[in-house]
Amino acid sequence: MELTRVVISALFLLVAFGLSSAKVEEENPEFWRSQARKTLQSVLDRKLNTNVAKNILFFLGDGMGITTYTASRILKGQLENQTGEETVMTMDTFPNVGLAKTYSVDFQIPDSAATATAYLCGVKTNLNTIGVSAAARNGVCKTQKGNEVTSILKWAKDAGKTSAQ
Ligand SMILES: *[C@@H]1O[C@H](CO)[C@@H](O)[C@H](O)[C@H]1NC(C)=O
């Protein structure tokens, strides 16, 4: 019962936020078209960087998909007393972005071991396994031998890179 009341209150709050009235500028079609022109122009003005990258920083928001990211954007804006959707996150300004499909070879919803293997070794594998190909079976330890895969860490070491101490 208590939970039901909390859920209903939360829904009411969401609806209240959803119905917040537009700012005067947002009622003017030219506001949106001008924003679109500025966005397009800034992309067209961008200079293509063709240099070879010296280093790569790899940050991974585990479980962070578009939906989670959108929720974060809205919360950030609402904590600043905005409606939220209009907030620009730093990641929104990155010049290049990509999307990845995350799944395990044997399971639709992957775990972090299998996805880390995909990201760091370039090989999709079975649920609950890490650093091995899909020829290794989940929970059958003897199938690990001979099915190990190399990772970006080994490739970096082989290329003479040093690790940060
Ligand atoms: C948002 O509004 C609340 C209530 O008026 C206020 O206490 C808070 O300081 C405001 N936050 C920001 C970031 O302006």
- Residue-wise pLDDT for 70-81, tens only, equals 999 999 999 999
Q: Active-site residue 112, yes or no?
A: yes
Q: By alpha-carbon position, which residue is closest to atom 3 of ligand 1?
A: 81
Mean pLDDT of 100-111: 94
Does a structural domain hold residue 68?
yes
Is there a single domain that holds both residue 129 and residue 153? yes
165 lies in a domain?
no
**Cα of 79 to ligand 1 centre, how many Å?**
8
- Domain limits for position 144: 112-158
Q: What is the mean pLDDT of residues 45-67?
A: 88
The pLDDT assigned to 95 comes to 86
Of residues 155 and 161, the one with the higher pLDDT is 155
- CA 61 / ligand 1 centre spacing (Å): 28
Q: Which of 97, 121, 140 is the last residue of a domain?
A: 97
Instruction: Note whether 113 and 130 are within 8 A (CB).
Output: yes
Using a pLDDT cut of 90, give the percent of the chain over it.
Answer: 65
Answer yes or no: is the C-beta of 81 below 6 A from any ligand 1 atom: yes
Tell me whether residue 46 is in a domain. Answer: no
Name 53's Cβ contacts closer than 8 Å, sequence gap at least 6. none
Task: Summarize the annotated binding site as residue ranges.
Answer: 62
Does 14 have pLDDT greater than 70?
A: no
Q: Predicted confidence band at 162 (pLDDT cuts at 50, 70, 90)?
A: confident
Q: Is residue 9 scored above 70 in pLDDT?
A: no
Does the residue 34 lie in any domain? no
Q: Is the pLDDT of residue 82 over 60?
A: yes
Q: Residue 135: inside a domain, yes or no?
A: yes
Assess whether 149 and 124 both reside in one domain: yes
- Same domain membership, residue 153 and residue 123: yes
Mean pLDDT of the chain: 88
Give the chain's domain count: 2
Task: Look at residue 106 and tell me if it is in a domain.
Answer: no
Please check whether residue 86 lies inside any domain of the structure.
yes
Asked if residue 138 belongs to a domain, the reply is yes
- The radius of gyration of the chain from alpha carbons, rounded to an integer in Å, stands at 23
Mention every residue, 6+ apart, whose C-beta is less than 8 A from residue 72: 89
Could you give the residue ranges of the DSSP H alpha helices within the chain? 2-18, 29-45, 66-79, 112-121, 152-158
